[in-house]
Amino acid sequence: MSVSSSGVLAKVLPIGPVSAGALVWRNGAELQLTLVAQARFRMVHLGPMTVLEPLPLVQTDRYQDGAPLSRLLEGTDAVPFRPRVDVWMTGSARAAGGRPCQAMGVRMALYRAGQSLFDKGIHVFGNRANAEAVPEFFVELPLVYERAYGGPGSAANPVGCGLEGGAQLPNLIHPWRPGVAVGFAPVSSFWQARCRGLSMDQRRQVERAVPSIGAGFDWGFFQAAPDDQQLERLVGEEWLLLEGVHAELGRIESSLPGGQAFGRVLGGAGAVGETVALGLDTVRVCADTQEVRLTWRGLFGVGSPRELGALRVAAGMEEAPSGIDWGAVDARLRNAEPLERSFSPEVREALRRLDGEPYAVGATADGSEAAGDGAGALEAWVAGPPTLPGQGQASEFPFADVELYGETIKNIDVAALRRELRLNRTLQSGGVRAVETAAEAQDVARLEWTLSGEDGDTLATDGVLPGDVTKVDSDEG
């Protein structure tokens, strides 16, 4: 089942290997057009990603079992504006070499010029019959919220396990805070962690055919990624690193493309097109296929619904900015259908009604001022959209001069954890680099603490994980 959390995207002319769309919405009294371009890529280990045929844009949120309070399977592309860049990943943990293991680590990170933008790891354990049981062996385990800490009543993960006891214990554990929800996947817009700043009236306005956003709106509602996977900005050519998701490669590293995305709006038969800069605001990673979808957005102000009838719109991506022939793009636009014809009947009817409504400038339908939380970010975007990234040399392989912290555990025999989970011996037995910094030492120490107990010394008994780690350091009350 699909549930709308925003409006509906109209198809526009795609330029290059992208899916393209446009969303019409109101920011107070102002009519806005959000242009969307999305491209799909495959990760290439130690090299730049290669482009694939694009997939259709996602019109609505899709949920597990069709229930909005369940796990979000696919987040919608019909989003007016994202103040920050969402990065999320779906897929499964996979034991290295296909050899069954009882515990391992999964990691996702983004780097630019050797500097970490974010770096996140999750510890993965096999199923346990109870808190004292040794984890079962597994080769593959889904990275889904049902297998992470949480449960009914949890604001962060109402579909999880362990919060109220029960037979199922979490498989996905935070590296040093076992009692908190953790995941890489997008979060449902109906979970409290994401919609707590939204009133029921605001949700109704957002879910209209032409979304209306007015006073007091929290723009963070449109951020589907977990909080610790939201970034200030990506410009392209950053390096994406994945660990623990490929049976053959323990670590996969590939660089994002460095081209530019753009929109083009043509107002009439003899008009010259206007370029709209699109900023990268969504990175979707499918760990199972090593595919990455990048989504760019930009805003174009529209004076009135009537003006939409004359607009022709394109959105696209070009690897070399100097290679864009704007004259050729405008020629294609002149032969394209007007944007209005691409709108659904519901959107056309909503625009027809809007055209006759008397709104004061700067006021919403209820007469309140059109401002809100995050309004400054939107104003900054409109006043000065992201600079189109230039083309330079490809980014240097990011880890040549950067010592990464030691890999999280992979394929460790839990029965041998007592003798293996000493700081140096863990690193040596895993064949990875020695700890170089205090931060790296702290990360491994946290790993020891999670598996060994609060004193970080040894397991209580051979082959047995500590008691109910899900109850340690709980922030769920």
Q: Is 129 domain-assigned?
A: no
The answer to whether residues 450 and 338 belong to one domain is no
Q: Considering only CA atoms, which of 304, 356, 343 is closest in space to residue 30?
A: 304
The angle at the Cα of 220, spanning 214 to 224, to the nearest 5 degrees, equals 125
70 and 216: one domain? Answer: yes
Q: Tell me: do 332 and 419 sit in the same domain.
A: no
Name the pairing type of β-strands 172-173 and 115-125: antiparallel
Q: How many Å apart are CA 303 and CA 164, to the nearest integer?
A: 53
Domain-located, residue 69: yes
Specify if 189 maps to a domain: yes
Query: Where does 43-90 show beta strands of DSSP type E?
Result: 47-48, 50-52, 61-63, 72-74, 85-90
In a domain, 337, yes or no: yes
Task: Report the alpha-carbon distance of residue 9 to residue 312 in Å, rounded.
Answer: 15
Domain contains 176? no
Residue 330 CB partners (closer than 8 Å, separation 6+): 264, 266, 272, 273
Same domain, 419 and 376: no
Residue found under tokens 């009236």: 201
Look at residues 362, 383, 404 and tell me which one is the last residue of a structural domain. Answer: 383
Q: How far apart are CA 362 and CA 1, in angstroms?
A: 37
How much of the chain is in helix, strand and coil states, percent to nearest 5?
20, 30, 50
Range 304-330 burial, b when 16+ CB lie within 10 A, else e: ebeebeebbbbbbbbeeeeebeeeebb
| Cα 31 to Cα 210: distance, rounded to the nearest angstrom | 10
Report pLDDT for 103.
94
**CA distances for 314 relative to 22, 29, 36, 77, angstroms:** 9, 25, 9, 16
Q: Are residues 367 and 441 in the same domain?
A: no
> Please, is 455 exposed, middle or buried when counting C-beta atoms within 10 Å of its C-beta (0-12, 13-18, 19+)?
exposed
Statement to judge: residues 325 and 467 lie in one domain: no
Can you give the residue range of the structural domain that contains 438?
414-471
Q: What is the pLDDT of residue 474?
A: 38
The number of CA neighbours under 13 Å toward the Cβ of 241 is 22
Looking at 360, 383, 406, the residue that finishes a domain is 383
Tell me: do 59 and 207 sit in the same domain: yes
Are 362 and 430 in the same domain? Answer: no
Max Cα distance, the chain (Å): 80
pLDDT one-digit tens code per residue, 420-476: 333 323 333 333 333 334 444 444 444 444 444 433 333 222 333 333 333 333 343
Domain count, the chain: 2
**Do 433 and 297 reside in the same domain of the chain?**
no
Residue 162 inside a domain? The answer is no
Q: How many CB atoms lie within 10 A of CB 435?
A: 20
Give the C-alpha separation, 420 to 432, whole Å. 14
Q: Is 464 helix (H, G, I), strand (E, B) or coil?
A: coil
Of 329, 363, 383, which residue is a domain's last? 383
Which run of H or of E encompasses 424? Answer: helix 423-429
Residue 177: the pLDDT is: 85
What single-letter amino acid sits at 437?
A: T
Q: Is residue 172 part of a domain?
A: no
**Which H or E run includes 439?**
helix 438-452
Evaluate whether 45 touches 385 at the Cβ level (below 8 Å): no
237 and 356 belong to one structural domain: yes
What is the rounded distance in angstroms from the CA atom of residue 439 to the CA atom of residue 451? 19
- pLDDT per residue, tens digit, the chain (477 aa), is 444 445 589 999 999 999 999 999 998 888 999 999 999 999 999 999 999 999 999 998 888 887 778 889 999 999 999 999 999 999 999 998 999 999 999 999 999 988 999 999 999 999 988 877 889 999 999 999 999 999 998 999 999 998 876 668 999 999 888 889 999 999 999 998 898 888 889 999 999 999 999 878 889 999 999 999 999 999 899 999 999 999 888 899 999 998 889 999 998 655 678 899 999 999 999 999 999 999 999 999 988 888 888 899 999 998 765 678 888 889 999 988 889 889 989 998 888 888 665 433 233 333 333 334 444 455 444 444 433 333 223 333 333 333 322 233 333 333 333 333 333 233 333 333 333 344 444 444 444 444 444 333 332 223 333 333 333 333 433
Query: How far out from the chain centre does Cα 89 lie?
Result: 7
Helical segments of 264-421, H only: 326-334, 339-342, 345-355, 375-383, 417-420
If asked whether residues 206 and 86 sit together in one domain, one would say yes
Query: Does 378 share its domain with 463?
Result: no
Beta bridge partners of 24: 33
Within-domain flag for 407 = no
Say how far apart CA 214 and CA 205 lie, in whole Å.
Answer: 9
